[in-house]
Chain A
Amino acid sequence: MENIYHIVNGCINKEPKYQRLLYDRYRGYASKVVFRYIYRYEKAIDVVTDGFVKAFNHFDQFKKCNDDNDEDVEKLLMGWLKRIMVNCSIDELRRSSMLPEIGGIPEDVWEISDRNYDADQLMLYKDLITLIKELPPNYRVVFNLYVLDGYAHTQIADMLKISISTSRSSLSRARAFLQTLIKKMEEEKSCRI
C-alpha cells in the first residue's frame, strides 16, 4: 500500500497514478460528507466528482506538514478534502436556491446486510442520517456545519453569507425539528412492535 505522503506528492505533481489512488482511497469518505448535505444520491455523487476535480486542479494549495508523519498528513488531507466537498455541496445547494426536496431516499443507497455484526448500529446510523436529510436545506446545512463538521457560527455565517444570528436560529430550529422527527420515529417503531 502506498504511503500517503507519496500519494500527496504525486497529486501535487499531477501524476495520474497517485490521483487515482487518492480517489479510490477517499471516494467513500467524500461521498459520506457530501450525502449529508445533498439530498439526492445521484446528485451527491456528481458533487463528489466535481469536488475531486477541484481538489486535483488545486492540489498545489494543499499545505502538508513538513514532517513525514503519515497520520498528520492524512488528517490534514481529509480536513482539506472535507472542506472542498462541503464548499461544493453548498455551491450546489445554492444553485438550487436551497429549495426543499421532494420524494424519499431509495433503500438501495444504503449498504446494510444481515452479515454485518453491527447491523442494528448501522440501521440506527442510517436512520439518524435520514433524519438529518429530512431537515429543510437551510437548517440541514447549518446543523451539518456546526454539529458534524465543527465550524463556528462566524465561519458558517461567512460561508453561507448569512448573519450570525440567522445561523444560530437555524441551528436551534434544526435541533427542534430533529427532536420532532426523532419523536415521530420512536412512535412509529413502538407501533411496529
Chain B
Amino acid sequence: MQDIGPDMEELFRRASEDYPLKLGEDKWSEISSKINDKPISQPDKKQPNRYRKYYAVLLFLLLFLSLQLFLPHQFYNQNADFQKSPKNEIRQVNQPKKLNKAIRYKISEKTSSATISTVSRNILNVVNSPLNKTIEQQFRSMIAGTQSAKIKILQSVNQPINLTNDVEMNKVLDRSFPPEIKIKDINSIHASNNSLSNINSADTVSRAEQFNSSLSNSAEKKVMSKTSMHRFYYGLLLGTQLNSVKNQDIKKVGFDIGLIGGYRFNRHISVETGVLFSQKYYTTAGKYFNMKEIGPMMPAAMKVMEVKGASKFVEIPVHLRYDVFRKKSHRFFSSAGFSSSVLTEESNQYHTSLNGTEGMMYATYRKKRSYFAASFDLAIGYEKNIGTKANIRIQPYIQLPVKGIGVGNLKVMSPGLHLVITRSPQ
C-alpha cells in the first residue's frame, strides 16, 4: 500500500491535469448574454452571526438583571440595613443562628407599612446588642422615616397625633426620644405594646427566645418555611424523549442529560435554565424532508422516500416555573419556556429511489447549526424534598417545534420525561 507521499501527490497532480473529462455543453450563448451585463455580483449571502451562540448566555444574564430590578427593594434595603449592624456583633450576644434568621426575615418583611410591632421588634432586636448607641440612631432614623410610623410611635407614647406638620411631629419625637435616652426607657416604651410586654429580661438569649415564642404559630411557620426556601438551586437532569415529525412513527427512544440551575423569585415563581446534551432519533417520509439544501447534492432524478435521522444537540432551555400546589415537603408545578439549541451532528439514512431503483444512502453532517428559541416547552411535574437542601422531581414535558432543524428543516416534536435532582447551595 502506497502512502500519500510526494510521489503519490505528484501522481494526483498529473491526474488532475490529464484526466479524461468530457467537454461539456457549449454555453457560449449564455455567457455572451451575460458578459455585457453588469458584472455578476454574488448574492449577498447572509454572514452567519458568529455571536449567536452567546445570545442564550446574554438572555440569561438579562433575565438575571431584570430579576434584580423586579425584586422588592425593601428586601435588599432591609437586608443591607441588617448587614450594616454587623453579624459579628449580633453573634456576640449569642443569639441562636436560626433565631437571627427569623428576626432578619421579620425585619425585612413589609417595613414600608412599619407597623408598631415591627418597629418594636426591631428595637428588641437591637436593644441588647453592644452597639446600643448606633442602634438608637437607627431606630430614630427609622421612626423619622414614615408618617404612619411616627403616628404609631406617638400613639404608643401617648402623645397627641393631631400634629399634621412633619416638623412638629419630629420635635415631639425628639422630645420623646432625646439623645441621652436610656435603653431602659425604650424598653418601657415598647412595654406598652401588649404583644411584647414580657420581653424585658436581662439576658439577651432568653429574651430572644421569649420573643420567638411570642410569635404566633402561623407567623412562625411562615418565617421558618420562608427561611428554608433557598433562592438559588442547581441540579442534574436525566430524561428520555420520543421524537416524531408530524406525528409519524417513533422507532427509537432519544435521551437527554444535563445540568440545570434555577432562581426562585418567591414561593411560587422561579426561573430555570441549563445546558443539556440530547440525542434525538426520528423517522420521516420524504415529503416532509426539505430538499432545498441537499437537493443539489443528489442526482436530479433521485427521490427521497424516507429519512431516518439521528441528531445530537446541545440545548439551552429557559423556563418559567410556577408552583401550583405547594406543601412543605412536596409540590406540584408547571413550567413553560423556550429552548435554544445547537445541532452538533446529524446522521441521516436516506431511502432513495432513482429511476425505479431503490437504495439506501448515508450522510453525516457535522456542521454546527444554531437555532435560537427552536422549541416551545411545556411541562408539569411533582417535586419532593430529600432532606433539607435537595429535591427530586419527575417532570413530563413536551417540546413543540418553533423552527425546523437540520438539513431537512424538520419540525421535530419531542414529548418526554425528565428526572431532576436539585440542591440548594446554602
* Interface of A toward B, CB cutoff 8 Å: 14, 16, 19-20, 23-24, 27-28, 31-32, 35-36, 39-45, 48-50, 52-54, 56-58, 91, 94-103, 106, 108-112, 116, 121-122, 124-126, 128-129, 132, 144, 147-148, 175, 178-179, 182-183, 186
Contact = CB atoms under 8 A, between A and B. Distances in A.
B17 interface: yes
Contacts of B31: 19, 23, 49, 52-53, 56
A76 B18 CA distance: 20
A55 to B, nearest CB: 9
B57 interface: no
Given A40-B296, A99-B294, A183-B1, A128 B12 contact: yes
What are the nearest 10 A-B pairs in CB distance? A125-B15, A45-B24, A128-B15, A125-B19, A101-B297, A57-B39, A56-B35, A175-B4, A111-B22, A53-B34
Contacts of B1: 179, 182-183, 186
A147 B12 contact: yes
Interface string B277-294: 000000000000000011
Given A99-B407, A102-B363, A128-B15, A54 B297 contact: no
A120 to B, nearest CB: 12
Contacts of B17: 32
A97 B295 CA distance: 12
Nearest to B301: A103
B109 to A, nearest CB: 57
Contact of A109 (B21, B36, B296, B361): B21
Interface string B175-196: 0000000000000000000000
Given A49-B27, A56-B35, A99-B365, A110 B13 contact: no
Given A41-B24, A57-B40, A14 B19 contact: no
A178 B318 CA distance: 45
B20 A111 contact: yes
Contacts of A144: 16
A186 B188 CA distance: 104
B361 A54 contact: no
A129 B34 contact: no
Q: Size band of the B side of the interface?
A: 35 or more
Given A23-B31, A129-B15, A54 B40 contact: yes
Given A40-B296, A96-B297, A54 B39 contact: yes
B15 A31 contact: no
Nearest to A122: B20
A111 B1 CA distance: 28
B365 A100 contact: yes
B14 A125 contact: yes
B49 interface: no
B70 interface: no
A95 B45 contact: yes
B365 A148 contact: no
Nearest to A87: B42
Contact of B12 (A53, A54, A132): A132
B22 A108 contact: yes
B302 A103 contact: yes
B21 A45 contact: no
Contacts of B168: none
Nearest to B294: A99
B154 to A, nearest CB: 75
A18 B303 CA distance: 43
17 contacts: A23-B31, A27-B26, A28-B21, A28-B23, A36-B16, A43-B296, A49-B30, A99-B294, A99-B365, A100-B364, A100-B365, A102-B294, A110-B22, A111-B22, A111-B23, A126-B19, A178-B4
Given A121-B18, A126-B19, 10 more contacts: A32-B21, A45-B24, A50-B40, A58-B39, A96-B297, A101-B298, A147-B9, A148-B12, A175-B4, A182-B4
Contacts of B294: 99, 102
A31 B24 contact: yes
Contacts of B300: 42
Contacts of B293: 96-97, 99
Interface string B36-70: 10111010010000000000000000000000000
B56 to A, nearest CB: 22
B344 to A, nearest CB: 15
B166 to A, nearest CB: 69
B32 interface: yes
A28 B18 CA distance: 11
B161 interface: no
A187 to B, nearest CB: 10
Given A58-B39, A100-B364, A148-B13, A94 B45 contact: yes
A40 B297 contact: yes
Contacts of B352: 102
Residue of A43, A102, A129, A186 with highest tally of chain B CB at under 10 A: A102
B13 A147 contact: yes
A41 B22 CA distance: 10
Contact of A179 (B4, B297, B354, B363): B4
Contacts of A91: 42
B299 interface: yes
- Max chain A CB contacts within 10 Å: which of B17, B20, B365? B20
Nearest to A150: B13
Contacts of A147: 9, 12-13
B19 A128 contact: yes
